[in-house]
Structure 1
Amino acid sequence: MQAIPDGTGKNAADGTQHGEKGVPFYRDIQLLLIGVVVLAMAFAEGSANDWLPLLMVDGHGFSPTSGSLIYAGFTLGMTVGRFTGGWFIDRYSRVAVVRASALMGALGIGLIIFVDSAWVAGVSVVLWGLGASLGFPLTISAASDTGPDAPTRVSVVATTGYLAFLVGPPLLGYLGEHYGLRSAMLVVLALVILAAIVAKAVAKPDTKTQTAMENS
């Protein structure tokens, strides 16, 4: 008798459909935590893109020209992080890289907020850039391979990240107008620290879990 393939019959078909759909995204704790990470890291990247030169001018007394040059240090950090990130991911876990990135970004942002030194602030933007560089791509990768229905999971995480890019800078502008940009950056700092705390959410599934998802 010819073997009957898996997924044949009403009960098996129902089980397959359940495996493909999984739980709703708003009840998937791991996916929600990945969303927290991408929210924080995209917020950190977007806030620097929109406010870093002005933060250097108003918060640390740089000239507009110097503020723009210091922003170049942030983009340098982002570029180096993106180009070298693969090397670190190959040698360390994704969790370790995301957590280290978040802590590095938090260190850079914290120094800019709390240290009254133009020189320290100028150097710290490189740490900020390095820390923010890998958050978005690694969370998208985590969303795709940590559960069933990868397209939906990636869509949820990507939308969360783009929402942070869109909403974060105006929020910081409002806070900066009332409390100063350095104080407003405390929101970014808190979110990046939270991302480091929940970074375990981006862990790759073990081999058995990955095989089960691929066969579902």
Structure 2
Amino acid sequence: MKTHLHAAIFALLALASAGCVTTDEEGRTVLGVPRRQPDVRQPSTRQIEETRREARMAELENMVRRLEAELDGVGTSINSVAQKADASAQQGTARAADVAALRAEIAALRRDVDEQSAALKAIPASFGKLLEENNRALLADVDARVKAAVSAVAAGRRTSGPSRSSGSGKFYEHEVAAGQTLSVIAREYGVSMEDVMQENNIRDASLIRVGQKLLIPVK
């Protein structure tokens, strides 16, 4: 008898530990549904790969934002150098030291771009190609402006002494508009293209650009 009683007690204890037995307000034993064990299954290989891909994409997005910020800084520096080159080309008064300084700044900018290009190798081609094209466009623009400044300096050295003054000693200031050539501008003011080139230390008539200001001698 005691054996059966002990067995029943152990069975009830086992059920209670499994969450199958409770007691109501009147002390009655109520059998319930066994509690389920928490799902402790390991993530699948596919889930692990997806998690890794998401982490990689987030890393790439952060890298692209950082490089874009660095490129903005390089762009600002390039604009500064370009403005100096424009001023030298317009005034024709740059010295050899000025040209050397411009070239040193260009070399520094090229080093910055090279460093960023190395970082781009870690980025997929779709991102890297876009940023590299942006770099090339910026460098091509500043190279063209520096060449114009160097040409202006060389022309200024060849024409030693003060430049020839116009007959009246007065000049018009003309701002080059889109589509205008030096010959068209000279005809508008009734002067020769050679006079305009000499007064502005222009060696190559094709190097004038939109927005450039020219001194036109008054005849």
- Structure with the largest fraction of helix: 1
- Structure with the largest fraction of strand: 2
The TM tier, using the shorter chain, reads 0.3 to 0.5
- State the structure with bigger RCO (CA 8 A, min sep 6), 1 or 2: 1
TM-score by length of 2: 0.34
Please identify the structure whose Cα radius of gyration is greater: 2
